[in-house]
Amino acid sequence: MRPRKDHIHLAGGRIETLWWEQPRTTGPTLVFLHEGLGSAGLWRDFPSRLAAATGLDAFAFSRFGYGGSDPCALPRPLDYLTREAVEILPEVLSAAAISDFILVGHSDGATIALLYAGLAAAPGFRGGIVEAPHVLVEEVTVAGIRATRDLYDRGLRDRLARHHGANVDIAFEGWWRTWLDPEFRAWNVESELAGIARPFLVIQGRDDEYATLAQVERVAASHPDLMRTLVVEACGHTPHRDQAELVLAAMVKFVQKLLN
């Protein structure tokens, strides 16, 4: 299924969007939130596959400074993930006329989904699926980001430019400068998860190069009755790519429970 490409207009500028629409569908929309170096297009065919398997429409967008969206100012504020959850995501959903939805987030997008659920959830929010969320800064995170930063001028920039175009330097610099800022070491949003009232499936690779299992354990401990966890073996930071079939099956099963 090829996505329909479009843009929506927010107060801060234009946002790139992709829609995977079923011929006939009712029910919630799957809303995909990308990672810290991602974009709507970098989900590749996974939204199409999950949409087809569940019979639901899927929607993805590139945040400001990513993909084909308008650029953003740097440096990013240290609370940028909370701002994305509380200010930008509700505006995107409104502009896209999405009032019944399930969030599917990866890495930064996963954290945004959790923060949205804890701080800003609208009545139409059914629940969420999050891969590799982070709620605090770990040494392995810092080390992983430093290693990635060192690859930027050795081919990584060219690969990212295929997806971010003129935003490539904004996307990359905004990501690593925030996470490596000494003041960001104290960042912790566990308390902001207290307001979550809908179910989540929390997925993390056993071999995640940016986090330990402490992340998924902290998220799960915030609401043991609402959180379902899946630790994926032989899997790094991107479960939907590293173990696509297993992760797809788990997501489909969880979505079906939300629909019943």
What average pLDDT does range 215-238 have in this prediction?
Answer: 98
Q: What is the pLDDT of residue 22?
A: 87
Q: Which segment of 23-27, 46-50, 250-254 scores lowest on mean pLDDT?
A: 23-27
Euclidean distance between CA atoms 99 and 196, whole angstroms: 18
CA 59 to CA 128: how far, in whole Å?
Answer: 14
- Alpha-helical regions (H) of the chain: 46-54, 80-83, 89-95, 108-119, 139-149, 156-164, 168-179, 214-222, 239-242, 244-259
Q: What is the mean pLDDT of the chain?
A: 97
**pLDDT score, position 23:** 83
Instruction: State residue 1's pLDDT score.
Output: 76
pLDDT of residue 56: 96
Q: How far is residue 117's CA from residue 197's CA, in Å, rounded to a whole number?
A: 7
Q: Does residue 90 contact residue 96 with C-beta atoms inside 8 Å?
A: no
| Phi (first) and psi of residue 166, to 5 degrees | -65, -15
Question: What tens digit of pLDDT does each residue of 77-110 get?
Answer: 999 999 999 999 999 999 999 999 999 999 999 9
**Separation between Cα atoms, residue 102 and residue 100, nearest integer Å:** 7
Residue type, 242: D
Burial class (CB in 10 A: 0-12, 13-18, 19+), 9: exposed
Q: Which two tokens stand for residue 135?
A: 């709620």
Asked if the model's pLDDT at residue 117 lies above 90, the reply is yes
Over 90: is that where the pLDDT of 36 sits? yes
Note the pLDDT of residue 25.
66
Q: pLDDT over 70 for what percent of the chain?
A: 100
Give SS3 for 1.
coil
User: Which domains, from first to last, does the chain contain?
Assistant: 4-259 (3.40.50.1820)
pLDDT higher than threshold 90 for residue 26:
no
Regarding pTM above 0.95, the answer is yes
- Alpha carbon of 132 to those of 3, 70, 91, 156, 240: distances in Å? 25, 26, 25, 21, 10
